[in-house]
Amino acid sequence: MTVPPHIPVLLDEVVAALDPQPGDVIIDATFGAGGYSRALLDRGASVHGFDRDPDAIAEAAPMVAEYAGRLTLHPATFSRIVDEMAAAGVAAVDGVVFDIGVSSMQLDRGERGFAFSVDGPLDMRMSQSGESAAEFLNTADESLIADVLYRYGEERQSRRIARAIVAARPLATTGELAHVVRKALGYRPGAPKDPATRTFQAVRIHINGELDELVAGLAGAERLLRPGGRLAVVTFHSLEDRIVKRFLREASTRPTTSRHLPEVAGSDPVFEQVSKAIRPGESEIDRNPRARSSTLRHALRTAAPAREAA
């Protein structure tokens, strides 16, 4: 099967935000096809790439050889960046970049079951291990399915869809799930957005624990970045962006305390120079339509110690 090449989103903006210098050590927390990593390596940085997907790690072997000692891959979730970097003997880094969500490589391979554009097994597991989407949908209570669709897909018709899924069980393929959702919502071909999109997003996020991973990954980045280190995060939907926006707001703001109370220890902001939301221009969207929903936020690490919660 020929898979379209992966196109890194907001690549120039991410590189500018990280400002890599020769000798810098940077974490690419979502390695994927290595688009960000290659750009950073070409500017002289060393990169530690993280990916839970065995395919991404295996297919990067030629790239590891190409950069001879400057690219180290970790077959792990990015919630483990602190432990993995400690095991590698690295106590602090100059930059961390996250590109949150599903990769183009995963979407474009029907056998991975992430998309309904090509019928395939109902899988959606980034790590290719653990509970699959089919196992979840075929065994979970209707109320839990509805909660997942509402929470992670912001699906207002979550109860109707969950009821239809339970009635149609067992489901085995992405096409079957898409058909059930479309039928439940009265889909008309040619509508601007396929109603199955929100359900697929929700199930994928639940199966992979993506939002919990993001929270843990951001905390890990806060602990690992040295003073002056740079954080860049690319998100693709509002649930992710809200988490990043809240994290940066809380991390860059001194807590408000009463003048009658002692100052809270460790209350200095741990990030500064927090960017506004950066979105792709029309030329990039024309080249890569999947960039349309992307948002970049970046910030600079201060010398303040990491917060206890991080």
Q: For residue 99, give every residue at least 6 positions away whose Cβ sits within 8 Å of its Cβ, in sequence order, or none.
A: 8, 9, 30, 32, 36, 234
- Percentage of the chain beyond pLDDT 90 is 82
The per-residue pLDDT for 83 is 98
The per-residue pLDDT for 2 is 44
Average pLDDT over residues 166-190: 93
Average pLDDT over residues 84-92: 98
**β-pairing, 93-99 with 225-235?**
parallel
Q: Is the pLDDT of residue 261 over 70?
A: no
Buried b / exposed e over 268-287, threshold 16 CB at 10 Å, is ebbbeebeeebebeeebbee
pTM of the entire predicted model: 0.92
Average pLDDT over residues 70-95: 98
Buried b / exposed e over 129-165, threshold 16 CB at 10 Å, is eeebbbebbbebeeeebbbbbbebbebebbbebbebb
Mean pLDDT of the residues in the chain: 92
User: Which tops the pLDDT comparison, 118 or 135?
Assistant: 135
Q: Is the pLDDT of residue 17 over 70?
A: yes
| Residue found by looking up tokens 């624990």 in the block | 209
Q: Is the pLDDT of residue 91 over 70?
A: yes
CATH number of the domain that residue 220 is part of: 3.40.50.150
Residue 65 covered by a domain: yes
The answer to whether residues 218 and 293 belong to one domain is yes
295 forms bridges with which residues in the sheet?
Answer: 235
The answer to whether residues 79 and 217 belong to one domain is yes
Residue 309 covered by a domain: no
How many domains, in total, are found in the chain?
2
Helices within 69-141 (DSSP H only): 81-87, 104-107, 133-139
Give yes or no for a contact between 93 and 229, defined as CB atoms under 8 angstroms apart.
yes
The answer to whether residues 261 and 275 belong to one domain is yes
SS3 140: coil
The per-residue pLDDT for 281 is 95
Q: Is the pLDDT of residue 15 over 80?
A: yes
Residue 306 covered by a domain: no
Residue 258 domain boundaries: 11-105+210-301
The answer to whether residues 161 and 200 belong to one domain is yes
Q: Is the pLDDT of residue 139 over 90?
A: yes
- Percentage of the chain beyond pLDDT 70 is 93
Could you give the C-alpha distances from 130 to 109, 172, 207, 258, in angstroms and in order? 19, 16, 9, 48
Residue 308 covered by a domain: no
The answer to whether residues 230 and 258 belong to one domain is yes
Residue 276 covered by a domain: yes
Q: Is the pLDDT of residue 5 over 60?
A: no
Token representation of residue 143: 């109320």
Q: Is the pLDDT of residue 143 over 70?
A: yes
Boundary (domain end) residue, out of 154, 188, 208: 208
The answer to whether residues 59 and 132 belong to one domain is no
Report residue 118's pLDDT band, with 50, 70 and 90 as the boundaries.
confident
Give the span between the Cα atoms of 51 and 29, in whole angstroms. 7
The answer to whether residues 203 and 253 belong to one domain is no
The answer to whether residues 56 and 115 belong to one domain is no
Q: Tally Cβ neighbours within 10 Å of residue 168.
A: 17
The answer to whether residues 85 and 117 belong to one domain is no
The answer to whether residues 92 and 176 belong to one domain is no
The per-residue pLDDT for 4 is 45
The answer to whether residues 151 and 214 belong to one domain is no
The answer to whether residues 116 and 202 belong to one domain is yes
Boundary (domain end) residue, out of 173, 208, 243: 208
CATH number of the domain that residue 195 is part of: 1.10.150.170
